[in-house]
Structures are given as structure tokens and as C-alpha cells.
């Protein structure tokens, strides 16, 4: 009589078809184009065109108004649009309060590369308590209450600019508006609150902050003649690289030449 079957031998014989079946099952479950046999042999999954990719993006805030009650503010924004279903309504995110200020992000969910146009939109900010005279910092830009609307605070001047127009805060803002390097700083030569004379280098670090071998800086220093205008700050009337008042008198006869007539050439 034949002896009993050896368990070890039997399990070894059955393992081959089990492994083969597992391989066939894995091949049947793989997505087309995701395995070594797919296009290009890439193991990366392909994006399903029927399932758009959504992203959350900060929107541009264009204005802020008091809302229908003391706890709300209406935030005017520029939203992505242009195709039906390519975006969702703008909303307030990451709301916090600190040091008497309200901080929040204004965002919109958008199909990535799916909205070709921009349009006006509104997001509603709702606070747990009345907003009162508190400043709103939205997407890192400050807005302060100003009657029937909120006024955007200047990044350089802040929300309450100094009353003295000759203050360094106003001067820095004036330099920022010139076509010069961001490293340039103004040196005030004369200022009476309405008229300003200062020199500004085009680029004080033309060869880098620490200099570069073989680089010889040739920085032009210009004299700027400016006038203060309410609502606009300092605006340029004329410029010169020579001594004295240059051509400012012919451009603006009202400019007081006493502020510049004895000045040497800048530089």
C-alpha cells in the first residue's frame, strides 16, 4: 500500500498555482498606464481628466465695508471665474484676534488652471463680538475703519501717517515710489513740509552687499525736487545730477529756490 502523502511535498506543489493566480489578479487590478507596462514605463499614476484638481488660493482684497450689523464686514475681492464650476465662493479662513486687531485670510477654492478670468466678488467676515474701531488685517494687509468704509493702510506709512511731512516715514515712502534700487535710501537736504529736496543713489549695492571681484560700482546719485500733495504724498517735480536747483524753476516756478540754490553737485 502506498504510504501517506507527505504534507511538505503537497504544500510545495500547491504554492505554484497560488502565486500565479496572485500575479494575474495584481495585473488585472493595475490602472492602465501606471505600471511598468504603461506608456513610458512610468510608475506614476495618471491624472484623471474627469476629476479636476482643486486648490485654495488667497484672493486680492480691493475694499472693505461695514456689514449689515456690528459684527460683520463685507470684503470686496477679485475672484477667479470664467467657466461654470471652475471656482467656489470666496470665504474667510484662519480667523484670529490679537492685540485689539482682527486677522484673517480671504481665500477661494479654484480648479487649478481652470478659471481664465477675474471678476468682482464679496466675502463676509463675521466676528464673535462687534468689530467697533478694530483694525482688520486681511491677507497681511491692514484696513482701518474710516466712516462708511475701511481705509487701506500704507505698507510704509501705516494707518496713521505722521503729521510732519518731513518725517523719515514720509521720506522712505517717497523713495519707494522712485525708480531706484530697493536698497536705496534718501538723504534729505531741505524740507519745509510742502517742498522737499533730497539725494538718492540709483543702486548703492550695484556689486552686491559685500562686493564682487572684478566689479566696479558706478552708482549715479540724483537730486530730487518734490512737492507734497494731500492724498498722494511726495511726488517728483524734477531731478538733477548737477549743483543747485537744476531745471526745477522752469518746470515748477513756485518751487522755492532758496532750498537748493547753494547745494553742491550730489555725490
Q: Is there a contact between 163 and 80 (Cβ–Cβ < 8 Å)? A: no
Select from 152, 182, 197 the last residue of a domain. 152
pLDDT in tens, 88-110: 999 999 999 999 999 999 999 99
Number of other residues whose CB lies within 10 A of the CB of residue 165: 20
Select from 94, 118, 152 the last residue of a domain. 152
Is the pLDDT at 233 greater than 80? The verdict is yes
According to the model, what pLDDT value does residue 42 have?
33
Q: Is residue 143 part of a domain?
A: yes
Mean pLDDT on 232-251 = 94
Give yes or no: residues 66 and 105 share one domain.
yes
Give yes or no: residues 61 and 148 share one domain.
yes
Give yes or no: residues 147 and 182 share one domain.
no
DSSP states along 147-188: TTEEEEPBTTTBSS--S-TTSHHHHHHHHHTSSS-TT---EE
Give yes or no: residues 254 and 186 share one domain.
yes
Residue 120: give the domain boundaries.
Answer: 54-152
Give yes or no: residues 124 and 191 share one domain.
no
Q: Is there a contact between 123 and 90 (Cβ–Cβ < 8 Å)? A: yes
According to the model, what pLDDT value does residue 247 have?
93
3-state SS class at 79: strand
Give yes or no: residues 136 and 177 share one domain.
no
Beta strands 135-138; 101-111: pairing state: parallel
Report how far residue 179's alpha carbon sits from residue 175's, in angstroms, rounded to the nearest whole number: 8
Q: Is residue 39 part of a domain?
A: no
Is the pLDDT at 239 greater than 60? The verdict is yes
| Count of the separate structural domains present in the chain | 2
Give yes or no: residues 70 and 118 share one domain.
yes
Give yes or no: residues 147 and 188 share one domain.
no
Give yes or no: residues 137 and 173 share one domain.
no
Q: Is residue 90 part of a domain?
A: yes
Q: Is residue 25 part of a domain?
A: no
Q: Is residue 20 part of a domain?
A: no
Report how far residue 151's alpha carbon sits from residue 59's, in angstroms, rounded to the nearest whole number: 18
Reported confidence tier of residue 48, pLDDT bands at 50, 70, 90: very low
Give yes or no: residues 60 and 142 share one domain.
yes
Is the pLDDT at 6 greater than 60? The verdict is no
Give yes or no: residues 60 and 140 share one domain.
yes
pLDDT in tens, 180-218: 988 899 999 999 999 999 999 988 777 776 667 767 667
Amino acid at each position: 500500500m502506498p504510504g501517506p502523502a507527505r504534507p511538505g511535498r503537497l504544500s510545495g506543489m500547491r504554492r505554484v498555482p497560488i502565486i500565479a493566480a496572485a500575479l494575474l489578479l495584481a495585473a488585472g487590478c493595475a490602472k492602465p498606464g501606471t505600471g511598468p507596462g504603461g506608456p513610458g514605463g512610468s510608475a506614476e499614476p495618471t491624472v484623471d481628466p474627469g476629476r479636476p484638481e482643486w486648490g485654495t488660493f488667497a484672493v486680492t482684497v480691493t475694499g472693505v465695508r461695514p456689514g449689515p450689523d456690528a459684527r460683520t464686514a463685507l470684503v470686496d475681492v477679485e475672484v477667479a471665474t470664467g467657466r461654470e464650476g471652475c471656482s467656489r465662493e470666496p470665504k474667510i479662513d484662519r480667523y484670529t484676534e490679537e492685540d485689539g486687531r482682527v486677522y484673517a485670510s480671504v481665500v477661494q477654492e479654484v480648479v487649478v488652471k481652470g478659471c481664465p478670468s477675474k471678476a468682482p466678488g464679496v466675502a463676509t467676515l463675521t466676528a464673535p463680538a462687534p468689530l467697533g474701531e478694530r483694525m482688520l488685517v486681511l491677507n497681511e494687509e491692514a484696513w482701518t475703519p474710516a466712516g462708511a468704509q475701511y481705509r487701506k493702510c500704507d505698507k510704509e506709512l501705516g494707518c496713521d501717517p505722521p503729521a510732519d511731512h518731513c518725517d523719515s516715514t514720509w521720506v522712505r515712502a517717497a523713495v519707494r515710489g522712485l525708480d531706484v534700487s530697493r536698497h536705496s535710501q534718501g538723504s534729505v537736504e531741505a524740507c519745509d513740509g510742502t517742498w522737499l529736496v533730497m539725494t538718492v543713489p540709483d543702486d548703492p549695492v550695484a556689486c552686491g552687499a559685500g562686493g564682487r571681484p572684478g566689479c566696479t560700482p558706478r552708482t549715479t546719485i540724483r537730486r530730487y525736487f518734490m512737492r507734497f500733495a494731500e492724498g498722494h504724498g511726495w511726488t517728483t517735480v524734477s531731478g538733477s545730477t548737477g549743483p543747485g536747483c537744476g531745471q526745477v524753476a522752469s518746470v515748477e516756478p513756485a518751487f522755492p529756490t532758496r532750498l537748493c540754490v547753494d547745494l553742491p553737485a550730489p555725490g
